Structure formats: structure tokens, C-alpha cells
Chains A and B, each alone.
Chain A
Amino acid sequence: MHLVPTRAAATRLGASCEPRGRERNWGGGARACCSLRLQFRGQLGARPLPPCKVYVRSPLAVRRLLRPGARGALLPGKGGCKAAGLPGALRGGQCPASYLVNACWHCRLSAMSQLELKRNKVLEARFVADEDVLKHISDNGGVKVRKDRAQLALNIKRFVKKLENISDDDEAQEILEEQNYVAVLGACAEDSLRNGSSAGGGEIYSFQTPKRSGKMAELASELAQTPGKNVTFESSQYPEKPASTPQSNKKYSASNKAQLKSKKNEFVSTTPYRLRKRLSAPSLRSDSESDYSASCSEEEEEEDKDHKETSDVILDQKTPSKTRAAPASKKTPAKKLKEEMTSNLVEEYFEAHSSSKVLTSDRTLQKLQKRKLDQQTLLVLLNKAPPAFTAELKELNQQHESLFSKWMLQLHLGFSIVLYGLGSKRDLLEKFRTSLLQDSVHLVVNGFFPSITVRSILNSITEEVLDHVGTFRSPLDQLDLIMKRFKEDSSLELYLLIHNLDSKMLRGDKSQQILAQLASLPNIHLIASIDHINAPLMWDQAKQSLYNWLWYETTTFSPYLEETSYENSLLVQQSGSLALSSLTHVLHSLTPNARGIFRLLAQYHLENKDNPSYPGLSFQDFYQRCREAFLVNSDLTLRAQLTEFRDHKLIRTKRVS
């Protein structure tokens, strides 16, 4: 049974349960923060325990506790689960998805209120409504009220009612407005079948939770146990769950999300106190789980204290916590609280980032005795890997491809199209290009190409599309010319396909400005893709309106092969083949004398390759040698030549004192 009481409960349970490192210890920090995953052992039931409450943050955590697999005894509705604050539907496990999502915020579980762990380990779980939790917390002390209020203020939608009791009118008004916003724009995921699981902002942008090294391995082993195969087996046994109906769909995604949460719940609450302290500040901006857990666990701490129960904690625990030191009275004005909270948040952030200590193991790839793979072998190996989910991927792609003519229509109506979503969109765009753009002038830009610049894009427009001869003083001049030409001649039409508009080389403000101005021309049609999570930050209002984007989600799940092949990837051996080929190019264009100079230098270099203290060739020596070989006649010529080498990154110079 994977019961996960938080530490307070653990202490309450006394010595009878012991924390146990789950797998092996992973090096350095692991000892100090050995896993707190508590396992209820056999002897636990032997001793009568005082009733205790454990707050689990979401009913999804409850689901986890009550999941059928858990020894069979804890099915909802079976094991004495009384839903106090929840409609019966949830108990039965068959409520509409939207409700489930809501409910996960609305209720908490005071799970296992009595851990009467007799032989059979019957567990009583009870759903408690928010009010009760709130009441319970507010009985205990101001700090928690404060916390809860902070959270309430954020969980606009769910908590509005309660808030009205506590907070003043202004705030309520604000919240109602926000609610309106959330209802219209924020809840996008809920109605669209696609985004079945509505990932709230809090989940994505939550405060960083410091974690330690062992966790990953732990999760991995857990993941490894997840019966991926079993499911298939089961599904063949009970044929056809209606997979495509939105109802079941949403429900699954919701529950799925929930499980993620519950998972995290475990991890956070088992984080050692020292770390936990860092994140125990109430986050004003997010209704994230981590904050929640922080406040929860702290609250248990409090409870722990209140009961003055002797705690034989095994961990090294610094008892007086900072956060608890400032208990605020219930009546503190909300505004002030907010300020306090923000400043607190800032401090927390810096605290979390100030420590340069890295809590990871010290193992290196070298010890793995793995040779680094180069790009070629990598590709070969990847080709060997069996492709997964081909049918589904194909279906996804077909969905996207059905939009092609719509895209064309919208491009012609003056919009630009931007594609986002996980997976390489290169093939999709290529297909679009080959199927619809064959008969028109178009320019494909590989944004991921490491040395792409706006200038090269503009150059290809002026030189190849407009057949313009001549150079420009600045990209702006060039842009002017392009704009003029396109405005004059309405029959000119250009489709601009940019893969990875958000690549390192193009994401600069100036580049984006120029591209946006290009896109604003009525007869240039831009279709682009973005991948980086922060890509939309590139554009301010002005640029966005120039681009006139229409967003299309095209999640393809296809690997970013081409896009990452250029990257100096962390684990990929740099073969240097690119550098060598460019070297030959340069050498071909050099004069025989210059080639001789380079050869001389290279030879000298090779002669000294075994010399560990080899400093390089000094200029004077080099000049002498070159003179002797009749390669140069003055040191000026040599210097000029070396400058050229340096420009091509063939050589490096360094100053020696």
C-alpha cells in the first residue's frame, strides 16, 4: 500500500513507521534527504494509534489512495468513504469531467481520519468540504488563514463564495471581473476536445520546487512499473471503451492530471524540511500545487506542535521555522497582506537561487564508459529504433493536412499563420509547400540553420525574387526597396515559409521587426512555426499587429531531427566534418602562396603535437620561415594573410608576454 502521510502524521505515528530510502542512495546529498516515502509496516497495526488527520491536497490524491489496485480494499464507496462535501457522483467515479476538475479544487480529503490500522488495514477516507478545512485551519492560527486567503484570492473561480465572507468589496469585485475573464478566455481547454486536460497557468508557471537527485530514479522505477502493457491487455478483454467521446476523454485526462498532482504531492511532502522551508512561502501568483502542499505540510507541522506530541523525528530537523514566526492576525487588511506576500515571494526566490550548492550526484558520462556518439551514428541508431504510434501520428497529420486550403485562404485574406505545438512541423510545412505552392514563388527559410540572418533572408528576396543587382547599406534600406517593389507591383506575390521563427538567430528584436514589416505587406504571405516555450514573448503589440497572426495548433509529435541536427548538442560528439569542409572551401579560394603559408603553419603544428608545453608559433619565427620559403616578402603581407585566416576562423592568435 502506498500510503503517503506527511511528516506530521509520521511523527504522530511514532516509531512504528520508519522512513525508508526507496532504492539505493544516489551519491552526495542523498543521505541527508533520504526518501521519506513511508511504508506502513506490518507492526503498524499492532499499536493503537490516536486519531489523526492528514490533509491531502486534492481528491485526485484520494483517487490514488483509493485506486483499485491498492490492495483491493479501498474502492471508493466501499471502504467507508463518506463524501461529506462532494456530490455523490464523484464517489461513484462517474461525474462529468468538468465537475471533476472543479471538484479537485473544491474539496480536500481528510484522509484516514482514523488510522485504525488493524490487521486488515481498513482505511477510512472522508471528503471534507472547503469550509470545514478552512474552519479547521483558522481555528489553529492566523498564519494559515493568511495562507488560505492568498490561495483563495487566486483560485478565483472556485473560492469566490467563501471569499466574499472574508475579504472586502474591492477584492471581490476584482475577482468577479477576473472570473469573467477566466470564464471566457481562460477556460479554453475545457470546451475543446483537443485540450482535454485543462492545464491551468499555475501548473505551468509555478514556483520552482527544489528537489534532489534520487527522485528521478525513483520516479523512473515507478514509471517502469506502470503497467503500460497491462492496459492493452485489459482493453482487449473489455472491448471498446468509447475513446473518442468527449466525456470519457475529459475524464481520463482529468484523472490523469490528477494523478500527476498526487504524485507530486508525495514528492513535495517528502522533501526534507530544510528544502521545504524554501518553498513554504505562499505564492501570490500561482495556485500551484507546490504552494499548496507547502502550506499544508506546514499546517501539519503546526498541528504537530499544538498537540505537543513528542516527536522522535529521524531527520535532522531545524524546528523553529521562519515562516511561522510571523503569525498575522486575522484582521490584517488584505492589501497589506498582499504586499507582504509579494516581498516574501521575492525573498524566497532569491533564497532558492542563492545557494550554489548542487544537490546532484557526481557521476559523469566518462565513468559510464560510453563513447560519445557522433551525428552519423546517432542517426543510424535512431533509424534502428522502432517507430511508435505510427497510426496515431498519421491520423494527427491528416487532421492538420485537411487545413491546408483553409490556410491558403487565410493567407490570401491578409493573415499570417503561425503553427505551434509539440513536434517538428517541418514535414508538415514541406507537405504544404509541395502540395499547394508548386506554382508560385516562395521562399523557404530554415530558421534553425545556425548562421541564418535576416540579411540573408532579405538578400534572397532582393537578389533571387526581385532580381535586383546591387548592395545595400543597411537592412532597412533593403527592406524599403522590397516594400516599395511589392507595393508598386501588385502581381508580385511571395510565400514566405519560415521554419522556427523563434530560433536563436531570428529571435532578436530587430530581426523580428523586419520580418513583421515584411509580413505586413499584403502580397507577402507568411507561414511560420514556433517551438520554444517562450516564443510568443518575442512580439509586442505593435509587432503582433504587423504580423497579424492566426494561431494554429499542430502537435505532430514527430522528432525534431533536422532542427536538432545542427545544434551542438550536449551529448553528441562534434565530428568536425562541417569545419573541415568549410576549410577546404576556403583553401580552394586561396592563392598558392597563401596556401603555402597555411601549410607551413599546419606542419609546424603537427610536428609539435606531442609537446605538452607547445606555445604556438611566434609571429617572428613564422615570418622568417615564410621568407625562407619565398612565400612572403614583407611582414605586412603576412599580417594581411593571417587576418584573413583569422576571419575564417582557421587560426587563433594569442598574446604572449
Chain B
Amino acid sequence: MSTSSVSKGCFVFKPSSKKRRISSSKADYFSQGKNDSEDSGLRFASCQLLWKQINSETEKIQEELNKQLFDNLIRFLRQSHSEFQTKTTEWMCRMKSSEIPTAALVLGVNVTDHDVTFKSLSEVLQDNVTPYVVSLQAKECPGIKHLLQKLMGQLMDCYVDADSSEEEECVNISQKKIRCSMASLSKWYENVTKKTGSETPSKKRTSSSRHWQSPPVVVIFKDMEIISSQHIHEFPLVLIFGIATSPMIIHRLLPHSVSSLLCIELFQSLSCKEHLATVIDKLLLTTQFPFKLSEKVLQVLINIFLYHDFSVQNFIKGFQLSIVEHFYSQPLSVLCCQLLEAKKRVTSLSHNQCENIRSLPSFRRYVESQVSEKQIALLTEDSFLKEVTQTLLEDLHIYHENYFTVLRCLHVFTTSLPKYPLGKQIRELHCACLGKSVWETEEYESAIQLLRMLAKDELVAILQKCAEIFISPSGKQFSNTVEKLEEFLARFQNLEGKHVTYCQILSVEFRSVPSVEELSFSYIPCCSFRSYLAPAEMQTLNEVVYFNTANTLREHLNAAPRIALHTALNNPYCYLKNQTLKSDVGCISNTAPDICIVYKLHLECGRLINLVDWLEAFSTVVTAVEGTDPEAVATDQVDEIIHARFIRAVSELELLGFIKPSKQKTDHVARLTWGGC
């Protein structure tokens, strides 16, 4: 069946039920694409497993981060209608209850993350406060009618969930027939409370939480609030607004008459930057997950976050994509799992996989550094290779354990420095260390310079923090260091004078100025600091766990469609590797595709383009290719085919949005782009 028609734009294809076998699973697609589908099943399984773990970890992080906020909110909700429950008829209470208690949740500009927050919020509320939670989103409710309808619908559903025995009556009354209005809402509420009232009087709170992200909706909201304030006596309502910008927006969007009916309390959520920092800390700076990101990849992700959307959700999406890409493209990623498992898998590697290991650049470096007999053994004997691989993997694991501990340590040092020469966040430091030998950089030098200037008490504080890091479970292999450190600290404290700097202390200790290296970390890790923070790229077998093709990530997440179009139009040789297109004398070659030529010509025009001139210019170019003398072609005898080609090219440009028809002058089109690139 064809999918082009003059009367229809949608085509549904349903395979007959007989034919509809279970379509191939994801794993099949995973293995289909690649020629070297070594261990693809295993790879896919470990990919899925890893992603599952990481996903649940991120959810956990989110939950923890939101806990505080939610606790506050719940407290507020409980308080807000305590009067209603006790049914006091005092004057004060009535005053208060004519106002709708409202919580304004300031969430920050990372709108995309809010969905998750709200989802978990309504879950929490449903569990802890009331079964009647309605979550409305601005984008789903273009009008007041929709809004109420949705509100009703969700409430009824909630009710059904809460009390399944009475569902039939309830559903019959509600759903479509009831005219959705506040009145019916409160009637319904009475109805419900009557039925369930005797048993659970305490759970009579309806809170409608709603996303309030786009201003346009607000005009609609205001009626609703006016109506609802009248019903507040019978109907305990709590509103929760989600705000992306600033709390002032409420006052700007709602007229005074409405906002005076609201009793607003403000809640501030955690900033997305902190959220990201936690995510990076828990996902990347840990040995818990075998998969790692290389410097460039991490930088791409962080930059997308900082410069584009502030969305942690998108960051995690990018992380997911890199996991998939890694397992998809690197056959050795089969070893990217927990150490024990990886060792087991090494033994069952095929010969091809062994060859793959041998061709890794990092492994080659390793081989070259070995003595010649061992070299030969490594390159010829698979079994020996496997043994070595196991130890190398273990080394890699140990490297990571040490790396993260020492990194945190160094971070403690550098964050206390003025101007943060090595970055304020640990992620910046991490990036610096991943990419190159950090101790060779200028920034590191200046950091050391600044460290020398530190006052004694500051230094002591830092050292104590370091000691804590070493004591923590992740730094258990540093017990030796900790002892030394504590000894040093003790000696340190005995020294007199508050304004002693590190440098002075050391010179007291050594009676000479020690080297930079000694200065900074002689007392911290007992061995050289360099061996711990060596860049990951230098580690043997790093390719197994590090994903480093930042390009693919960038292409898929942060694409530049307009640049691609521009390149294709200006320089078709980039795509079509044909020698004739490879013109290195100005401009594009005249054999280029029609659309390129037409595009090129249109760049020479101003706001309006005369089609006749354009056509003529085009035909001049095209006929030149065909070998005829351009002068010989008289102006009014343009070849039919060329005319047709021109028409096609022009309508293609129109489709692409470069030009549009114009009525300003006959046979003219208007240019829509700027500049004559």
C-alpha cells in the first residue's frame, strides 16, 4: 500500500493477526546493527542491568533531595484545615476559612524536571494526607471547562480507587452527565463524606496541585478561585501552585480580588545545580557503577546542562544515551560490569575478542612497555592474555577506588582557595584530572601557590576534613596515610602563633623550602599524589569502561540542523564525494545539485528576488555545464527541462523556508534569511 495520496494524509498499517508474530525484541536490534556482534546478548543484558540500577539510583537521589520540601508541605497541608476538622465555629476560624490556603512551590526554571517532582509529590500526598489529589497541568487545560472537567474526572477516579465497593453509583452519577461546576463538586464531596464520613473524618482534604508554568492560563483560573472561595466552608480545598520564575508572578497574574482570597505560603525547592552536583557525586564519582564517562563526554553533558536547559532529567538522558552507545559500539564493553563478574567473563572470551583487546591503544602501550618475551606471549597466547587482562582489570578497579578518594581530598583543598583556580565544583576538578595530568597545568601551580599562603587554622580544618575522607569506607586502603596525617596534625597544633602559614610551618619542619610536590601533599597520601590522579586515558584497558566518543553524543543531543543544511547547500562535496564538486576556485562548482546553485544565486539578492532573473542566471550556469556557449542561449529560449529543474529547486527552497512568495511585485519572491553567507 502506498503512502502517497491526494486525499489522505494518514495511513494506518495493521498486520494481519496471523502475521503479527512477536516482533523482534530490543536485544535483536542491538545485535543486528553491528558486524562484530561479539557477545552482544551479554552486552545488552549488562547494559540494561546497569541502566536499571542507575535509574533507580537517580530516583532515590531525587526522593532524598525532595524529602525536606515534601515534609514541609505536608505539615502545611495538615495545619491548613485543622480548623475544618474540629468544626469550630469561632469567628477567627471563619475568617480564615474564607481564604483558600495555598502553597506556592518555587521550583526553578528547569521546567522539564518538574513533572517528576510533581508526580512524586502527588504520590506522597496520596499516601500521607488524603486520597483526593488532583494534579492539573497548564498544558492540558486550555480552558476553564477543561480544567474543571479534568478536576472532576481525577477526583472521581480517586474516589473509585479509595472506595471500590461503591464504585458503580459513583461512576454513574459523575463522568459525563454532571455539569462540571464547583457546586456539583461540593455536592459530590458531601456525598462522599456522608458515605465514608463516619469512619474516616480526618481525611477530608482535597488538594489540587497544579502546574502553573505558563502565564496564559491564568485568566481562566481566576473565575475558579472566586467560585471556590464561596464553597470553602463546605469544602476544604488546598491549592498548590508550581512556579518556575518568581513568587511575584502570582500577584502579577491574579487580580487583587483573587489573590486576597488566597492564603499563600511559599516553599522553595532545591536548586537544580545542587541536584546535578548530587547526581554527579552519586553516579559518576563512585566505584559503584563500572561505567565511566570520559572528560569530553562529561563536558558535553555539563555544558548542555549549564548553557541550555538546567535540566537534570536531560543530563540523565544523556547519560543513558552514552551507556547505550558504549555498549552498542564497543565489543569489549562486555567486561564493563562488576569486577568479579568481569573476571569471570574474561575467561570465556573468544579469540576475536582477544584480538579486540590487543588492538586497544592503551593495551598496545602496555605491551610495548613489557619485556620482549612477555610481549610475544601477550600477542600470541590467548590464555596468557586473559590472565593479564584479569589483573589489569583489577588494577583499573583499584585505580578508581584510589582516584575518587584522592580527588575528594584535593577538592577539599582547592575549594578553600580564593578564586578557585581548579574550579569550585568537584566536577570541574574531575574533568581537569580526567583530561590531562593535572599537576602539569598552570592552574595547579597557582593552586599550590595559594595553598602556601593558607593560615594555620584553615589548614588544620582542611586536613581534618581530608582525614575524614580517608577514614570513610571508600578510603579504607589509606589507613596508613590517616595515621601519618593525624600525627602531623597533632604536631601542627602544638606550634605557636596563629598566623603561621603552611609554608612557614614546613620550613620550620624541614629547615628548607621543599619542592612544590612535597609541599602540597607530602603529608597526605604517603605515596606520590601523581600516581593516584593520573588521567584515565593513561590507564590500560580504560576503553572498556570509559565512553569517549563525545561527538556522537553531541550530534544526537545538541544537533545543529541549520548548519547541516548550510553545509549541504554551500559545499555539497562534504556529502557527495565526487571530484567534480571539489572546486577550489571560488564558490561551488557549477555541476553541483540544482538546489545548491539556486541557493547560491539567491544569496546575491536583497529582500526580493526577481524570478525571471533568477531563472536566467540559473540557466546560464546550467547550460555552461552542458558545454553550450552561454552567450548563444538567447534570453527567452530557456530550455524546458531547465525550466522544470528551476521550478523544482525553487519550490524546494520554499519548503526549506528560505523564500516565500511575495505579492509586492509581479513574479517576485521574498527572501526570508539574513545575510549573504
* With contact pairs A474-B146, A476-B146 given, residues A260 and B563 touching in the complex (Cβ less than 8 Å): no
Q: How far is the CA of A553 from the CA of B577 in the complex (A)?
A: 17
What are 22 A-to-B residue pairs whose CB atoms are below 8 Å? A192-B551, A197-B571, A199-B567, A211-B605, A216-B614, A219-B601, A220-B618, A223-B588, A229-B591, A253-B573, A256-B584, A262-B586, A288-B677, A412-B29, A444-B13, A530-B561, A532-B657, A553-B555, A560-B651, A567-B654, A570-B650, A571-B611
Q: Are A231 and B580 in contact (CB under 8 A)?
A: yes
Given A185-B558, A409-B30, A444-B3, list of 13 further CB < 8 A pairs? A195-B563, A197-B570, A211-B606, A216-B605, A224-B620, A231-B589, A358-B607, A364-B667, A381-B641, A405-B33, A441-B15, A442-B12, A571-B650
Q: How far is the CA of A162 from the CA of B621 in the complex (A)?
A: 44
B483 interface hit (Cβ, 8 Å): no
B46 interface hit (Cβ, 8 Å): no
Q: Please name the residue on chain B nearest to A415 by beta carbon.
A: B321
Q: Are B655 and A197 in contact (CB under 8 A)?
A: no
CB under 8 Å from chain B, chain A span 216-266: 216-229, 231-232, 235, 243-244, 252-253, 255-257, 259-260, 262-264
B583 interface hit (Cβ, 8 Å): yes
* With contact pairs A229-B625, A557-B568 given, residues A465 and B630 touching in the complex (Cβ less than 8 Å): no
A360 interface hit (Cβ, 8 Å): yes
Q: How far is the CA of A403 from the CA of B32 in the complex (A)?
A: 10
Q: Are B636 and A439 in contact (CB under 8 A)?
A: no
Return chain A residues, CB-CB under 8 Å to B677: 199, 203-204, 206, 260, 264, 288-289
The 0/1 profile, CB within 8 Å of A marked 1, for residues 537-574 of chain B is 00000000000001100111111111111111111111
B56 interface hit (Cβ, 8 Å): no
How many whole Å from A440's CB to the nearest CB in chain B? 5
Q: How far is the CA of A12 from the CA of B658 in the complex (A)?
A: 40
The 0/1 profile, CB within 8 Å of B marked 1, for residues 377-407 of chain A is 1100110110011011101100000111110
Q: Are B23 and A440 in contact (CB under 8 A)?
A: yes
Q: Are A263 and B674 in contact (CB under 8 A)?
A: no
Q: Are A206 and B675 in contact (CB under 8 A)?
A: yes
Q: Are A570 and B661 in contact (CB under 8 A)?
A: yes
* With contact pairs A368-B612, A420-B559, A541-B111 given, residues A195 and B564 touching in the complex (Cβ less than 8 Å): yes
B91 interface hit (Cβ, 8 Å): no
Q: Please name the residue on chain A nearest to B301 by beta carbon.
A: A184
Point out the residue from B33, B567, B606, B627 that lies within 8 Å of A210, measured CB to CB: B606
Binding-face segment, B248-256, B279-287, B309-317, B376-384:
B309-317
How many whole Å from B243's CB to the nearest CB in chain A? 15
How many whole Å from A490's CB to the nearest CB in chain B? 14
B: residues with CB less than 8 A from A are 3-4, 6, 8-15, 19-21, 23, 26, 29-30, 32-33, 110-112, 115, 139-140, 142, 146, 213, 296, 299-300, 303-304, 307, 309, 311, 313-314, 317, 320-321, 324, 328, 550-551, 554-591, 593, 595, 597, 600-602, 604-618, 620-621, 623-625, 627, 630, 635-636, 638, 640-641, 643-648, 650-652, 654-658, 661, 664-669, 671, 673-677
Point out the residue from A181, A358, A440 that lies within 8 Å of B608, measured CB to CB: A358
* With contact pairs A228-B590, A364-B667, A464-B14 given, residues A373 and B644 touching in the complex (Cβ less than 8 Å): yes
Q: Please name the residue on chain A nearest to B591 by beta carbon.
A: A228
Q: Are B13 and A550 in contact (CB under 8 A)?
A: no
Q: Please name the residue on chain B nearest to A218 by beta carbon.
A: B604
Q: Are A476 and B140 in contact (CB under 8 A)?
A: yes
Q: Are A389 and B613 in contact (CB under 8 A)?
A: no
A603 interface hit (Cβ, 8 Å): no
Q: Are A213 and B576 in contact (CB under 8 A)?
A: no
A276 interface hit (Cβ, 8 Å): no
Q: Please name the residue on chain A nearest to B625 by beta carbon.
A: A228
Q: How far is the CA of A534 from the CA of B198 in the complex (A)?
A: 61
* With contact pairs A211-B676, A570-B654 given, residues A365 and B611 touching in the complex (Cβ less than 8 Å): yes
Return chain A residues, CB-CB under 8 Å to B317: 548
Point out the residue from B587, B671, B675 that lies within 8 Å of A222, measured CB to CB: B587
Q: Please name the residue on chain B nearest to A571 by beta carbon.
A: B647
Q: Are A409 and B591 in contact (CB under 8 A)?
A: no
Return chain A residues, CB-CB under 8 Å to B586: 64, 222, 226, 259-260, 262-263
Q: How far is the CA of A526 from the CA of B449 in the complex (A)?
A: 56
Return chain B residues, CB-CB under 8 Å to A563: 655
A90 interface hit (Cβ, 8 Å): no
* Size category, A interface: 35 or more
Return chain A residues, CB-CB under 8 Å to B303: 180-181, 184-185
Q: Are A552 and B620 in contact (CB under 8 A)?
A: no
Return chain B residues, CB-CB under 8 Å to A163: none
Q: Are B576 and A393 in contact (CB under 8 A)?
A: yes
Q: Please name the residue on chain B nearest to A360 by beta carbon.
A: B610
Q: Are B617 and A217 in contact (CB under 8 A)?
A: yes
Point out the residue from A208, A363, A437 that lies within 8 Å of B607, measured CB to CB: A208
A215 interface hit (Cβ, 8 Å): yes
CB under 8 Å from chain B, chain A span 159-203: 180-181, 184-185, 188-189, 191-192, 194-197, 199, 203
A650 interface hit (Cβ, 8 Å): no
The 0/1 profile, CB within 8 Å of B marked 1, for residues 142-163 of chain A is 0000000000000000000000
Q: How far is the CA of A449 from the CA of B550 in the complex (A)?
A: 38
Question: 8 closest A-B pairs (Cβ-Cβ)?
Answer: A206-B675, A449-B9, A224-B624, A551-B559, A220-B617, A452-B9, A381-B644, A422-B568
Q: Are B613 and A217 in contact (CB under 8 A)?
A: yes
Q: How far is the CA of A531 from the CA of B651 in the complex (A)?
A: 13
Q: Are A460 and B10 in contact (CB under 8 A)?
A: yes
Q: Please name the residue on chain A nearest to B640 by beta carbon.
A: A381
Return chain B residues, CB-CB under 8 Å to A297: none
Q: Are B583 and A228 in contact (CB under 8 A)?
A: yes
Q: Are A195 and B604 in contact (CB under 8 A)?
A: no
A604 interface hit (Cβ, 8 Å): no
Q: How far is the CA of A231 from the CA of B590 in the complex (A)?
A: 11
Return chain A residues, CB-CB under 8 Å to B588: 223, 256
Q: Are A422 and B648 in contact (CB under 8 A)?
A: no
Q: How far is the CA of A338 from the CA of B109 in the complex (A)?
A: 27
A471 interface hit (Cβ, 8 Å): no
A369 interface hit (Cβ, 8 Å): yes
Q: Please name the residue on chain B nearest to A234 by beta carbon.
A: B579
Q: Are A460 and B655 in contact (CB under 8 A)?
A: no
The 0/1 profile, CB within 8 Å of B marked 1, for residues 334-368 of chain A is 00000000000000000001001011111111011
Q: Are B555 and A551 in contact (CB under 8 A)?
A: yes
Q: Are B574 and A196 in contact (CB under 8 A)?
A: yes
CB under 8 Å from chain B, chain A span 414-455: 415, 420-423, 430, 433, 437-449, 451-452
Q: Are B570 and A260 in contact (CB under 8 A)?
A: yes
Q: Are A220 and B621 in contact (CB under 8 A)?
A: yes
* With contact pairs A382-B648, A406-B29, A555-B568 given, residues A578 and B6 touching in the complex (Cβ less than 8 Å): yes
Return chain A residues, CB-CB under 8 Å to B562: 204, 533
Q: How far is the CA of A581 from the CA of B666 in the complex (A)?
A: 30
Q: Please name the residue on chain A nearest to B552 by beta carbon.
A: A192
Q: Are A256 and B573 in contact (CB under 8 A)?
A: yes
Return chain B residues, CB-CB under 8 Å to A252: 573, 582, 584
Point out the residue from A243, A286, A362 that lies within 8 Å of B577, measured CB to CB: A243
How many whole Å from B663's CB to the nearest CB in chain A? 11
Return chain B residues, CB-CB under 8 Å to A217: 613, 616-617, 620
Q: How far is the CA of A412 from the CA of B627 in the complex (A)?
A: 53
Q: Are B12 and A551 in contact (CB under 8 A)?
A: no
Q: Please name the residue on chain A nearest to B642 by beta carbon.
A: A385
Q: Are A260 and B10 in contact (CB under 8 A)?
A: no
Q: Are B647 and A378 in contact (CB under 8 A)?
A: yes
Q: How far is the CA of A465 from the CA of B615 in the complex (A)?
A: 47
Point out the residue from B26, B320, B566, B573 that lies within 8 Å of A204, measured CB to CB: B566
Q: Please name the residue on chain B nearest to A545 by beta carbon.
A: B112
Q: How far is the CA of A362 from the CA of B606 in the complex (A)?
A: 15
Q: How far is the CA of A206 from the CA of B309 in the complex (A)?
A: 25
Q: Are A226 and B589 in contact (CB under 8 A)?
A: yes
Q: How far is the CA of A456 from the CA of B11 in the complex (A)?
A: 10
Q: How far is the CA of A184 from the CA of B297 in the complex (A)?
A: 9
Return chain B residues, CB-CB under 8 Å to A442: 12-13
CB under 8 Å from chain B, chain A span 556-587: 557, 559-564, 566-567, 569-572, 578, 581
